[in-house]
Structure 1
């Protein structure tokens, strides 16, 4: 296990907390989908906001967290590449959801796409948490923030 730098932020725990926030929001979104018979403006807004949060999270990981981890822990490169491939798959699903939200009233398709997103995200989050939490805690790069690493404010 890597040595933990002298700082207050436990980046690994913050990653888990970010994932937990996204999981909670996804659960609320799925509940909302269960309780409706139409893609209402509020439901569309909720979907767009959630999808945006996932996109920001993955963009931050790809642009900051993964390069920082690769620089300090080159042995993680294959894992980081796999996680980035997952991000690409998720981005495609997010685009599909956006197309449904902006181009149709097909609640069943929106639900199907969001169910698919939920399954992939949970698998991805678990893999990511198993694979990089300890390394994140050992990151020594100065100037890192939760916003830069994970697309969220603490």
Structure 2
């Protein structure tokens, strides 16, 4: 294996961690917008933008994993199918929570309600990211997947 090939393989592990950090940053910005927001119209528009961006980014990340990454891992490492099933279950739960957040934003719920939605998402998201990184780190360092990282891990 050449150094270039090895760097490409290890890049999946690094890319996943980078995407997770970017999603954490978007979540943090969303929470900051909520904390700073007043009931005035401009603050509400900012919050809508942050929440929408966060929901789209996280959903795109999980859809890419489900569509591209997890099938490649399952094919190369059938022993990880239970882990992948757990991760997909988390994706479904997070999607449900994101829909609740989006509905709360759409109905201009009070900041306390929006914060509760974000807290719930943050708790599941962090647990999911840590489990995914811990469970797949070694696999991602050796995974031979010739694909566009944005298609696999989302457009971040």
TM-score (norm 2): 0.88
Shift of 1:113: 0.3
| Runs of 4+ in structure 1 over 6 Å off | none
Shift of 1:7: 5.0
**Structure-2 residue corresponding to 1:151:** 154
CA contact (8 A) 2:33 2:50 kept: no
CA contact (8 A) 1:97 1:113 kept: yes
- The 5 A counterparts of 1:12-51 are 12-38=13-39, 40-51=44-55
Which runs of 5 or more structure 1 residues have no equivalent in the other structure?
none
Q: Decide which structure has greater helix share.
A: 2
- What is the aligned counterpart of 2:90 among 70, 86, 89? 86
**Structure-2 residue corresponding to 1:6:** 5
CA distance in 2, matches of 1:42, 1:50: 12
Aligned residues between the structures = 149
2:64 pairs with 1:63: no
TM-score (norm 1): 0.89
- The 5 A counterparts of 1:111-126 are 111-126=115-130
Which runs of 5 or more structure 2 residues have no equivalent in the other structure?
none
CA gap 1:129/1:70 in 2 versus in 1, 3 angstroms:
same
